Amino acid sequence: MSAYVVRRVISMILLLLLLTFVVFILFSLLPTDPARLTCGKSCTPEIIEANRHRLGLDLPVFQQYWEYLKGIFVGRTFAKDSPDPVVCSAPCLGYSFKRGEEVFVLIKEGFPATFWLALGAFVMWLAAGISVGIYAALRRGKWQDKTVMGISLAGYSLPSFFLGLMAIFFIVIRLQLLPYPSYVSPFENPTQFLQTMILPWIVLAILYAAFYMRLTRNQMLEVLGEDYIRTARAKGLPERIVIRKHALRAGLTPIVTAAGLDLAGLLGGAIITESIFSLPGIGSLAVNSVNDADLPLIVGITLVTATFIIVANLIVDLLYAVIDPRVRLT
């Protein structure tokens, strides 16, 4: 078990290294010239060349990559030989000259909003999706099942920008039930935080809950037909224990996988939802960085997002062994 974890962590680190390489090379192959983007209309070829040198973009690609990699661990200084060098401390994921800030700091600033959005929605969709999924499975073929599944199909089909805009239009603008969303930290102003987050949570949760309802329902239907469920009933266990302890536990594995990966994906930013509700998260940051071609920032966000997914993958695999004793981690 521990040997497995060590091996998985090592391979994860190798994968992350490979990832940085691929992302870096990919972006260096773009036809956009980052040096050209450092100044506006007043650019002269001399300024561009000077900036190219300041950014270290005059070096060969592989050396650039090496500098970048080194920066992640020990930090780096741009424009060392100029009178005003720019220090980017470790972990340096690059420096956004557009925003005059380290990429890592920008992502760190955007993370709380993204984190709270993802976590809140995650809890909501899991609670709703799993409980409604079980309910539908227990009433398979009945009108309750059909109604719930119809609603879930609708929820699944509605794009989040539509739901989000409708929510803002009706609840915030027309009915004025909530103030216009404006993000604050939950530790600073919990009321305003909740007022801001409740709609994005619901919008995001509806989209995901629809999928989890179907997943849970199908899992439960499959498991409820298993022999060991009949055994549990033959023991004289109350039905609610048969469902919760025996059936749900057995049907949980794919739900855990999906949940882990979905949460990780969301931690990399819910682009549409964040944009609609103007939450200052990683998703909004990604949109803005693409809009003004802030390459270092785009690379940084891509790396961080991918890292979340890779780490989540490992956690999900480890959870497998916790859930299912037949899974041997070797």
Residue number with CB closer to another protein (91 or 238): 238
Q: How many residues does the chain have?
A: 330
Q: Give every CB contact of residue 196 below 8 A, 6+ residues apart in sequence.
A: 179, 181, 182, 183, 184, 277, 279
Q: Which window, 186-194, 227-235, 274-282, 283-291, contacts another protein (CB under 8 A)? A: 227-235
Site membership for another protein, residue 326 (CB under 8 A): yes
Site membership for another protein, residue 231 (CB under 8 A): yes
Q: Pick from 232, 243, 285, 299 the residue near another protein by CB under 8 A.
A: 232
Residue number with CB closer to another protein (67 or 226): 226
Q: Give every CB contact of residue 110 below 8 A, 6+ residues apart in sequence.
A: 269, 280, 281, 282, 284, 285
Residue 116's Cβ-count burial label (10 Å; 0-12, 13-18, 19+) is buried
CA-CA distance, 30 to 100, in Å (whole number)? 22
Residue number with CB closer to another protein (158 or 237): 237
Please tell me the count of residues contacting another protein according to CB under 8 A: 20
Q: How many CB atoms lie within 10 A of CB 210?
A: 23
Tell me the two tokens of residue 170.
Answer: 């009706």
Half-sphere exposure of 198 (CA within 13 A, CB side): 13
Q: Pick from 91, 239, 244, 292 the residue near another protein by CB under 8 A.
A: 239
Q: Give every CB contact of residue 45 below 8 A, 6+ residues apart in sequence.
A: none
Site membership for another protein, residue 325 (CB under 8 A): yes
Q: Pick from 15, 226, 265, 315 the residue near another protein by CB under 8 A.
A: 226
The CB-of-2 to another protein minimum distance in angstroms stands at: 20
Q: Which window, 103-111, 207-215, 229-237, 303-311, contacts another protein (CB under 8 A)? A: 229-237
Residue number with CB closer to another protein (60 or 325): 325
Q: Pick from 91, 249, 254, 292 the residue near another protein by CB under 8 A.
A: 249
Q: Give every CB contact of residue 318 below 8 A, 6+ residues apart in sequence.
A: 5, 8, 329
Residues 153-212 that bind another protein (CB under 8 A): none
> Which residues sit at the interface with another protein, rule CB under 8 A?
226-228, 230-239, 246, 249-250, 323-326
